[in-house]
Each structure stands twice: as C-alpha cells, then as structure tokens.
Amino acid sequence: MSVEKIIKDWKQKKFSPVYWLEGDENFYIDRLVDYAEKHILSESEAGFNLSVFYGKDANWAELINACRRYPMFAERQVVILKEAQQMRDIDKLDAYVERPLSSTVLVVAYKEKKRDGRTRLSKLLKQHAEVLTTQKMYDSQLPEWITAQVQKKGFEIKHKAVMLLIEHIGNDISRINNEIDKLSLNLGTGKTITEEHIEQFVGISKEYNVFELQEALQRKDAAKAIRIIQYFGANPKSAPIQMVLPALYAFFSKVYQLFGIRSKDENAIANALGVRPFHVKNYLLAGKNYGFEGTEQVLLLLHQYNLRSVGIKDAGTEDASLMKEMVVKMMQ
C-alpha cells in the first residue's frame, strides 16, 4: 500500500486497526505520522482520544492498555508509537495485533530498518495490519521527484535549479522538501524557480558549487575549476571535501562505464547508466576529453585524495589545497 492510498483512505474515513510503517526513507513515515496526529481526529476529539508514545520510553503493557481503551465522545481513538525501533519488548505487541480493537487506529513508526520477518509479530502484521515499507530514493529518481513536488505547489523549476538542490543536499528528500517549502513561501504562485532563487533563498551559490565544478572538469576548464575551489576554501561550509569527492567519483564512474557500452544511442546509454537522457551529453563530453586511461586515472586520483582528506598519508593539508593539487593532476 502506498502513502497516497493510505491518506486517501483516511480522508474517506476508511481505517485499518493497525498501520506498521517501516524502512529506510523517513520522509514518508513522517508524513503519515504527521497526518495521523493532526487530521484523523478533530481538535476537540484529539483532546480525549489521541495518545502518543515514544519507543525509548514506552512500556509495551501501557501501550496495549491505551489501544484497548474505548474512544470518548468520538467514533475512534488514535494511538501513535514514534521511534518504535527503540522500544524494548516490541514483539510483545503481537497479542494486540492478533486481536486489535476496531475503534482504535494504531500507527507504528519503525524507522530506518525493517522488522525481522521470522518473528510471530511479523507474521501477524501480514495478516492483520497495513504494512508500508519505504526505501531510499535512487539518485536517478531525484530530478523527477523534485519537479513533481514543485509542480504540486503550483510552480515550475529549471533543470539547473534542480541539480543545484541535489548537488548541495544529496539524497535527503526531507531536507529537499523543506527547501521547496521555503521557496514556495518566498515566491508568488505560478513562478518558475531558477538558479537565482536557489542562491537567494536556499543559500547555494549558482556559480560556485559542486555541479559547476563537475562541469568545469568535464570540459577541462582548469581556470574555472580553480576559481570554484578557491571559493570553497574561503567558504568551507559551502562544499566540504567530503561532499565534493563522492559527487565527482559518482560522475566519473559513469563516464568510465561509457567505454563498455557499444550503443551510440543516447537513450540506450541513459538506460545502461541509470540516468535521464539529457545527462548523457555531459558523460560523453567528459569521456571524449579524458579517454579511457584518463578517466581511469581520475578515479584513482579521487580515491587517493579521499584517503588524504581523512588523514591517511597526509600531515593535514587544507582541503582547498588538496583539491587544487588533485585538479591539476587530473588535467595533465
């Protein structure tokens, strides 16, 4: 069952007695928990019929007793267990899951992991509960997801603005969603979000960021690459080396894969690399400029300087100096 289907059912007053929310992507779990806490019951009903527990402090017997209470002045009550992965003796909820009360909606947020499928509780959840398992979004899915989220709020967004968000924030859709909310509050409806808006409201420089550094490297534009690195040196929080090197490694790894792809069709290349077609030209340009052996050398340099950045075979060289040295060697 999807997040959208669960919320649609709740809006239509269709409820299962137990919802078990688990997995690696907290964004969707938080969204459902927030809706359950704020919207299933009216404000007057919630005063008597909403109970919230936290896994670290929750006692399984008290939780079950709360679930077995009957609602007061309402058709149902809502019981929420947050951070359930921290709860001791959580398997003792099996007795309640086997025979839940129809007037109680129990929502369990079991974050960043999945239950052990061999336990009695897991088997009962399959029979008597709605189970949602979330997974981290693939990097290749982020541009489409961001565009869809922006459009839901009545905006459009330029591709370069999308890439700025991804390069700066990474695969953290909760943070990305918060930044989209910030942009929607500051901009009038119907506008197109540009790189300038990202720079103004999110605090990411449209000229000095990992995305621009990557473009400079793929074109072998040493002067621009050094200017960007100098900006990073003067503004360490804008792009720490621990964020820059993995992003560059991910890019050049796909360039390296190009040399094993026989097809020249950009759609076929995009499918093989797991990227969207409009990214392919960037990988092709880098492949042309560096060649097979040059790309292999770039990957080795990225690995070497990643080790140096954490103090291995290095006496504490500043991050900007490491990156400048690395870039010069890449382009030789």
pLDDT tens, 2-34?
899 999 999 999 999 999 999 999 999 999 999
Q: Record the tokens describing residue 20, joined without a space.
A: 């078990």
Answer yes or no: is pLDDT of 315 > 90. Answer: no
Distances (CA, A) of 77 to 8, 68, 232, 250, 278: 19, 10, 53, 48, 50
> For 162-190, what is the mean pLDDT?
86
Q: What is the pLDDT of residue 167?
A: 78
Distances (CA, A) of 55 to 23, 52, 63, 85, 164: 16, 10, 10, 7, 37
Per residue in 99-150, pLDDT tens? 999 999 999 999 988 888 889 999 999 999 999 999 988 888 899 999 999 9
> For 303-319, what is the mean pLDDT?
91
pLDDT bin (cut points 50, 70, 90) of residue 305 is very high
DSSP, collapsed to helix, strand or coil, labels residue 15 as: coil
Nearest residue to 132 (alpha-carbon basis) of 25, 41, 15, 35: 25
- Work out the number of other CB atoms within 10 angstroms of the CB of residue 262: 7
pTM above 0.85, yes or no: no
**β-strand 156-157 against 192-193: which pairing, if any?**
parallel
Per residue in 192-214, pLDDT tens? 999 999 988 888 788 888 889 99
Please give the domain boundaries of the chain with CATH numbers for all domains: 3-134 (3.40.50.300), 139-202 (1.10.8.60), 244-331 (1.20.272.10)
Answer yes or no: is pLDDT of 1 > 80. Answer: no
Name which residue leads in pLDDT, 58 or 169.
58
- Tell me if 320 sits within 8 A of 229, measured CB to CB: yes
pLDDT bin (cut points 50, 70, 90) of residue 276 is confident
Nearest residue to 237 (alpha-carbon basis) of 262, 205, 265, 260: 205
Between the CA atoms of 289, 293, 298 and 299, what dihedral angle is there, to the nearest 10 degrees? 130
Nearest residue to 154 (alpha-carbon basis) of 129, 114, 130, 187: 187
First CA to last CA across the chain, in angstroms?
53
How remote is the C-alpha of 190 from its chain's centroid?
26
**β-strand 104-111 against 77-82: which pairing, if any?**
parallel
Q: Record the tokens describing residue 200, joined without a space.
A: 């103004």
Q: How would DSSP label each residue in 70-136?
A: PPSSSS-EEEEEESGGG-TTGGGGHHHHHS--TTEEEEEEEETB---TTSHHHHHHHHHSEEEEE-P
Answer yes or no: is pLDDT of 189 > 80. Answer: no
Nearest residue to 330 (alpha-carbon basis) of 176, 192, 217: 217
Answer yes or no: is pLDDT of 277 > 90. Answer: no
Q: In the chain, what percentage of residues exceed pLDDT 70?
A: 100
Q: In the chain, what percentage of residues exceed pLDDT 90?
A: 72
Tokens 């950009």 belong to: 266
Q: What is the pLDDT of residue 199?
A: 86
CA distance 1 to 106: 16
